[in-house]
Amino acid sequence: MITLASPYDCCGCEACVQACPRQCIRFSENAEGFCYPIVDTEACIACSLCEKVCPMRRPAEAAAPLQVFAARNRDAAAVSHSSSGGLFTALAQKVLREGGVVFGAAFSPGWREVRHIPVEDEAALPALQGSKYLQSRIGNSFAEARAFLEAGRTVLFCGTGCQILALRRFLSRDYAKLLAVEIVCHGVPSPKVWRKWLDETTPAGDTPAGVSFRDKKSGWEDYSVTISFAAHPPRSRPYTKDGYMWLFLHDCSLRPSCFRCPAKAGRSSSDLTLGDYWGIDTAHPDFYDKNGVSLLLANSEKGRAFLDGLDVALLPSTLALAVRENPCFHTPKSEPAERAVFFRKFGRGTVSVHRLAATFRHQAALAGLLARLTKKMLRKR
């Protein structure tokens, strides 16, 4: 029976729910907005399947990629609708055109929640494009993916490292037609924080009509967070000035397990890894593109073979260059002291997320200024 000694022990992958033969596990949201398993102990038969599929209890060994690339989709439209170089779109299109199924994260109607869904035609693919900076609910998608695989369909399953590792544990064996694609992950923010932020951002009487966490109108590196509405002009801010993104990027709103991630440094057992190739301007300046460049790692022979015939520009690189400015590939984030303070104040519900974010940003700016002044004074001594 799955039991948790602390919230750090669960990444929220929902593999245990799908593996339970008695369906006696359900997920429930806690005060921070993260979901955790609750077991009906009377229905439990102590089969331990829930523990066997848990990626936190069964981590994998670190593994180096077979090949490392800087990559870019040749289709400019695909790049413009993607967070970086449009590689996920190219991979997904190849699978769909061969009659396969693609699983990925999509916003639910109303833009208040992100769930993993299957897509079987290219017309529905845009729902899976672009970054979603809140934790995606897996739901029953591992079991759905297995059903497609058992039926002989090719399946591309894209998710964070812990989700891919959980999928591997759930399936318990490799399938020749499974392409597991990991997204380099900073960590997953609280869906509850997102819902409250969205409510505070939406004008009174209006409804959200679209969300882009990586609006590249000012370029790939200087992206904005843009929320459109049904009856009001869109709200767009550079990510450096957006409070929700500040909380996310400074690790104040992340799930506890993200600080003990079991899937870094090739431990996800993915076939391919996708991310932003930050630092491409110095690593491979001739390949730089202001609209975005992807980092692409081939981690298995299957993943490497799948790249053959893909209509993308590929430039061989090295892991050392690729992760130089992308530490999220190999190292979990460190939990900041501000996280506990943020969620304590957030839990009271008396202060808006906007106000909390502004306060933390201001405090961080003052701390940074003090550190710079102290360093300057020490130099003069």
On the question of pLDDT at 374 being above 80, the answer is no
Whether 278 and 354 share a structural domain: no
What's the number of domains the chain is made of?
Answer: 3
Q: Is 187 left (phi over 0), alpha (psi -120 to 50) or beta?
A: left
Whether 342 and 311 share a structural domain: no
Which long-range contacts link 223-229 to residues 24+ away (Cβ below 8 Å)? 227/111, 227/198, 227/201, 227/202, 229/202, 229/203
Is there a domain that residue 275 lies in?
yes
Confidence at residue 284, expressed as pLDDT on a 0 to 100 scale: 98
- Higher pLDDT among residues 377 and 218, named by residue: 218
- Percent of the chain at pLDDT above 90? 91
Whether 178 and 33 share a structural domain: no
Is there a domain that residue 265 lies in?
yes
Confidence at residue 380, expressed as pLDDT on a 0 to 100 scale: 47
CA-CA distance, 240 to 248, in Å (whole number)?
11
Is there a domain that residue 78 lies in?
yes
Q: Tens of pLDDT along 176-193?
A: 999 999 999 999 999 999
Residue 69 φ then ψ, to 5°: -135, 150
Q: Tens of pLDDT along 295-326?
A: 999 999 999 999 998 999 999 999 999 999 99
Is there a domain that residue 11 lies in?
yes
Residue with tokens 């699983």: 103
Q: Tens of pLDDT along 276-294?
A: 999 999 999 999 999 999 9
Whether 72 and 142 share a structural domain: yes
Whether 79 and 153 share a structural domain: yes
Q: Look up the domain containing 27 and give its range.
A: 7-52
Question: Among 29-33, 76-80, 124-128, which stretch is predicted with the lowest mean pLDDT?
Answer: 76-80
Q: Is 111 left (phi over 0), alpha (psi -120 to 50) or beta?
A: left
In the predicted model, what is the mean pLDDT of residues 84-89? 97
pLDDT confidence of 370, banded at 50, 70, 90?
low
On the question of pLDDT at 377 being above 60, the answer is no
pTM for the predicted model, two decimal places = 0.95
Helix-, strand-, coil-residue percentages of the chain, each rounded to 5: 40, 20, 40
Is there a domain that residue 59 lies in?
no
Q: Tens of pLDDT along 324-362?
A: 999 999 999 999 999 999 999 999 988 899 999 999 988
Whether 165 and 272 share a structural domain: yes
* CATH number of the domain enclosing 33: 3.30.70
Q: Tens of pLDDT along 154-169?
A: 999 999 999 999 999 9
Q: What is the mean pLDDT of the chain?
A: 94
